[in-house]
Amino acid sequence: MDQIDIVHLGTYRLRREARFRRTLALHASESGGTGIVELLWQVACLVGADRSAVVWLDEYGSGLAHPNTLLDLATDHPRRFFSPAPLRTAWDTSVPGLLDVPLAGDRWEKVGQGISSYCSVALGSDGPRSWFLVADSLTPRPPLSPKVTGELMFLAGEVASVVLHRDLDLRRNLLGQTS
């Protein structure tokens, strides 16, 4: 086999980690913290995803999916489109509800963007918005094991505590109350 035919996968793995480090640095400089991005990194590593995000749907508006925080490890320009159909399906299962689609290309054409595996967790609602944790990949994967599902739901709880209770800190600061 010629040297030209050899693909060195180590280069691609290093790109994934480099994207995460750059994202972490940018997020820390903007918000002063990296908590939610680190949680998204843990979710991506746990389920083998290329992209993980916190997404919300406007319950009273157009119903479009809006990314709140996004970590895309597959591309330098993040893919910001999320189909609302699987999010609504996750919401209909329960809250918190998990939708696991390991072979999205075969069974769920609505996900789009060449996504081959997909999972989302319905986190809850803060009134006008329904919140979700999404992890997807351009490559297929096997169904999530019960152990991985449990760990994913724990991380989803951590994410929910950040996004659903963020406004409590803002209100307390506006009222001038400190603890």
Cα torsion 12, 13, 19, 24 to 10°: value is: 180
- Residue-level pLDDT, tens digit, the chain, 179 residues: 455 666 555 555 566 677 666 666 665 545 545 588 889 999 999 999 889 999 999 878 777 899 998 888 887 778 888 888 888 888 888 878 898 887 766 555 555 667 788 899 999 888 888 999 999 988 888 999 999 999 999 999 999 988 887 766 555 566 665 55
- Domain residue ranges in the chain: 3-175
Residue with tokens 């709880």: 157
Fold for 3-175, please state it: Beta-Lactamase (3.30.450)
Return d(Cα 40, Cα 52) in angstroms, integer: 6
Distance CA 20, CA 16 (A): 6
